[in-house]
Amino acid sequence: MHEEEVLGKAYDARLMRRLLHYLRPYSANVAIAFVAITAGSAASLAQPYLMKVAIDRYIAAGRVDDLDRLAILYLVILVVAFAAEYVQTWTMQLTGQRVMFDLRMSIYGHLQRLDLKYYDRNPVGRLMTRVTSDVDALNDLFTAGVITIFGDVFALAGIMIIMIGMNWRLALVAFSVLPLIVLVTQWFRRSVRESYRVVRGLIARINAFLQENITGMATVQLFRREPLNFAKFDHIDATHRDANISSIFYYAVFYPAIEAISSLASALIIWYGGGRVMQSALTLGALVAFLQYSQRFFRPISDMSDKFNVLQSAMASSERIFKLLDEPLEVKTPERPVKRQKPVGHIIFDRVWFAYTDEEYVLQDVSFEVRPGQRVGIVGATGSGKTTLINLLLRFYDVRRGRILVDGVDIRELDLAELRGLFSLVLQDVHLFSGTIADNIRLGHSSIDDQRLKRAASAVHAEPFILRLPEGYQSAVAERGSTLSVGQKQLLSFARALAFDPRVLILDEATSSVDTETELIIRDALHVLMAGRTTIAIAHRLSTIQDMDKILVLHKGKLRESGTHQELLAHRGIYFKLFELQYKSERQQEPLELRTQNSA
């Protein structure tokens, strides 16, 4: 079952306490709303009573002058009711919006700090639902839920007391329809709750489906999966529609049923009360007031059973939100991080073991050293754990056993932001944000001025293509940089890396998806980038790392060989075999990885 489909209790004290915590900053608003609701309910309770007084005391007695005064009083009460409702709606909506804002900010803040491990387990679509519709559901709780239910209960109790006070026999007659109401309401609540649960689950599925298929539209079109995916979506969408339609049925039955029962109550009141009036045991005014009260009695009942669902889904939403907020952060800055003087970028992997899931170790007992200024290449088959090394060095994940030292300090004892600030990472798949070219190089660091920006771009040969764009550095980048070529994005990411002037440069297959001509430009750019810095370069193509100071060969999670290009060739081991393979295929004019890409 989807997390979205679980509907818990309508009222959960533990959750409610946490929710109220979010209301605390706005307690003044809430207090005002309470007063307004109480005033509004009282005003609406007073109206039928005034009617009774008007009929019995003045109209029946022919005292027209006093009737004027009463009419004015009635008018004043109407104005009070109006004002009260206005104040209530305004303050509650205002509070709801502010609480939603706070909640969204704290969810987003938490998402930013959560470990990548969490993102491995949770699809994007579901996390989006937390920040959007789950928060919306909570807003309903504040605006339409808790506080107005208080108003409803207040009105119901008030009406019952007044009716019993006016004539308890007639009140009993009017209340005789209550068992019917209870039955209908129970049926409605149970049925709607079920279809509501199904609808929520389906919305989550629609989100997840769309998220996956819209981002993957190119693949969908390439593999001509349109009809298949259309049919899939058709199915989910139709189920969603039908679930909604069935809940519409319950609503369509429920409201008229309540209406009918309320009319039945009126009929009973007229039948019994009319008789009492004729026997002079009841005044006409009281009868009229009774009729009005009984009408006002049924509205809150039907409202409340609807709000019950709101409450329930809000509780379920808050359960999910709090679960996200309670998700512990494993990778974080320690209480007292070690402060260092000038970082030099000296890296040591000391018997590092790591597994993404339970006991499937993707790195086993890996040890190596990268000295300041040294350039180290890492090679190995796909899946041998190269990227994982980087993930650990940047603390996207923490090691299971062993330790990683940067400048002699275990990275778990360093300030996280400070640690990451040492590195620039260039990936094969460059992530661009919407904004301008300049924004994407600078990434919000205003310390990088225009001059530094341009120097970085021209050093990595990115400037020529940038200047060819319609507005140069100020040209807009489409979402995920879809209007730029892979090579252009790569050059941008080099410019980004250089502009940040990091101590350590890390390249993860940064050049493997560009053509030969661009690669030549990039290789030149790389030399500029690497000058005077510690560099770790992961590469498919051995040619790009041949002249490195040291090459590490990773095989199935183990560090099997290390040395210079010449040393490794002389060793005639894994590296030698890899080299031979690539050398052969390059003689056949086409690099190995290009061929595998074309055939995909």
Ligand X SMILES: Nc1ncnc2c1ncn2[C@@H]1O[C@H](COP(=O)(O)OP(=O)(O)O)[C@@H](O)[C@H]1O
Residues forming contacts to ligand X in the complex (CB under 6 A) are: 120, 356-357, 362, 380, 382-388
Tell me the two tokens of residue 114.
């959560």
User: By C-beta, is 146 or 378 nearer to ligand X?
Assistant: 378
Return the residue nearest Mg ion (CB atom): 387
Q: What are phi and psi of 513, to 5 degrees?
A: -115, 30
120 binds, among ligand X, Mg ion, none (CB under 5 to 8 A by kind): ligand X
User: By C-beta, is 407 or 508 nearer to ligand X?
Assistant: 508
The C-alpha atoms of residue 73 and residue 70 are separated, in whole angstroms, by 5
Lookup result for tokens 């387990």: 121
- The distance of closest approach from Cβ of residue 194 to ligand X in the complex, given in angstroms and rounded to an integer, is 37
- The distance of closest approach from Cβ of residue 406 to ligand X in the complex, given in angstroms and rounded to an integer, is 20
- Which strands form 550-555's sheet, in the order they lie side by side? 423-427, 504-508, 534-538, 375-380, 550-555, 558-563
Tell me the two tokens of residue 352.
């590092």
| Four-point Cα dihedral 529, 532, 537, 539, nearest 10 | 60
385 binds, among Mg ion, ligand X, none (CB under 5 to 8 A by kind): ligand X
- The distance of closest approach from Cβ of residue 489 to ligand X in the complex, given in angstroms and rounded to an integer, is 20
The C-alpha atoms of residue 243 and residue 234 are separated, in whole angstroms, by 14
- The distance of closest approach from Cβ of residue 383 to ligand X in the complex, given in angstroms and rounded to an integer, is 4
382 binds, among Mg ion, ligand X, none (CB under 5 to 8 A by kind): ligand X
Binding flags for Mg ion, 382-421, as an x/- string (CB under 5 A): -----x----------------------------------
384 binds, among Mg ion, ligand X, none (CB under 5 to 8 A by kind): ligand X
User: By C-beta, is 15 or 554 nearer to Mg ion?
Assistant: 554
User: By C-beta, is 202 or 399 nearer to Mg ion?
Assistant: 399
The answer to whether residue 317 forms part of the interface with Mg ion (CB under 5 A) is no
294 binds, among ligand X, Mg ion, none (CB under 5 to 8 A by kind): none
388 binds, among ligand X, Mg ion, none (CB under 5 to 8 A by kind): ligand X
The strand pairing partners of 436, in sequence order, are 476
- The distance of closest approach from Cβ of residue 333 to Mg ion in the complex, given in angstroms and rounded to an integer, is 27
The C-alpha atoms of residue 598 and residue 600 are separated, in whole angstroms, by 5
- The distance of closest approach from Cβ of residue 396 to ligand X in the complex, given in angstroms and rounded to an integer, is 9
User: By C-beta, is 387 or 544 nearer to Mg ion?
Assistant: 387
Distances in whole angstroms, Cα of residue 95 to Cα of each of 28, 235, 582 = 10, 39, 65
- The distance of closest approach from Cβ of residue 557 to Mg ion in the complex, given in angstroms and rounded to an integer, is 13
* Inter-residue contact 367 to 352 (CB < 8 Å): yes
User: By C-beta, is 81 or 505 nearer to ligand X?
Assistant: 505
Lookup result for tokens 């275990």: 410
474 binds, among ligand X, Mg ion, none (CB under 5 to 8 A by kind): none
167 binds, among ligand X, Mg ion, none (CB under 5 to 8 A by kind): none
Classify 62 in phi/psi space as left (phi over 0), alpha (psi -120 to 50) or beta.
left
Q: What are phi and psi of 537, to 5 degrees?
A: -120, 125
User: By C-beta, is 335 or 360 nearer to ligand X?
Assistant: 360
User: By C-beta, is 343 or 380 nearer to ligand X?
Assistant: 380
The C-alpha atoms of residue 212 and residue 204 are separated, in whole angstroms, by 12
Distances in whole angstroms, Cα of residue 558 to Cα of each of 24, 309, 392 = 55, 56, 15
- Which strands form 401-406's sheet, in the order they lie side by side? 361-370, 347-355, 401-406, 409-410
- Which of helix, strand or coil describes residue 504? strand
Residues of this chain that interact with Mg ion (CB under 5 A) are 387
